[in-house]
Amino acid sequence: MRKLNYTAIGMFLFSGITAVASAQNDHYPQYVEKGNKALDGEKYDLAVEYYNSAIDDNPDCWQAYVGLGNCSYYQKKYKESLKNYEKALKMDPDNSELVKFVQFLRAKIGPSALPTPTPVSPALPAGLPALPPPGSTLPPPK
């Protein structure tokens, strides 16, 4: 009988710890709201802290990524802004306003917004002679 009571108490405590842990992850709306207020007051560093706290609390909080994008945009950090807006868009792909702004920002930044491809040196097929050094003449074809 005693063993059963300890098990029941242990299960009760574990469920209480789980409830507290999940309750800690529901503050992200307040963080986003405080971030929005800081953004409205042009306190960008404080807003970024609040938005990052919201993301720590709920990694799927697309609104916090929009807030981070807004902070970067107002600071003229357009590439960083685009990166955050695109993260938000992945989480909320049906957001037409966000789609329009991502398109606008891509056009504003231009081709430099796209990642630079890594150059690849072409490999010569086996059995071909090596190319002559630069500046020398090539032998005539056979």
**Which has the closest alpha carbon to 66: 41, 90, 45?**
90
Task: Report which listed range, 9-18, 87-96, 121-130, is most confident.
Answer: 87-96
Written as one string, the DSSP assignment of 99-135 is HHHHHHHHHHHGGGGSPPPPP-PPPPPTTPPPPPPTT
Residues 6+ apart with CB under 8 A from 111: none
What domains are defined for the chain? 28-109 (1.25.40.10)
Could you give the CA distance from residue 64 to residue 46 in angstroms, rounded to a whole number? Answer: 13
Averaged pLDDT for residues 111-129: 56
Q: Is pTM, for the whole model, over 0.75?
A: no
Q: Are 37 and 49 in contact (CB under 8 A)?
A: no
CB burial of 95-106 (b: ≥16 within 10 Å; e: otherwise) equals beebeebbeebb
Q: Is the pLDDT at 7 greater than 60, yes or no?
A: no
Q: What is the pLDDT of residues 43-58, one digit of tens each?
A: 999 999 999 999 999 9
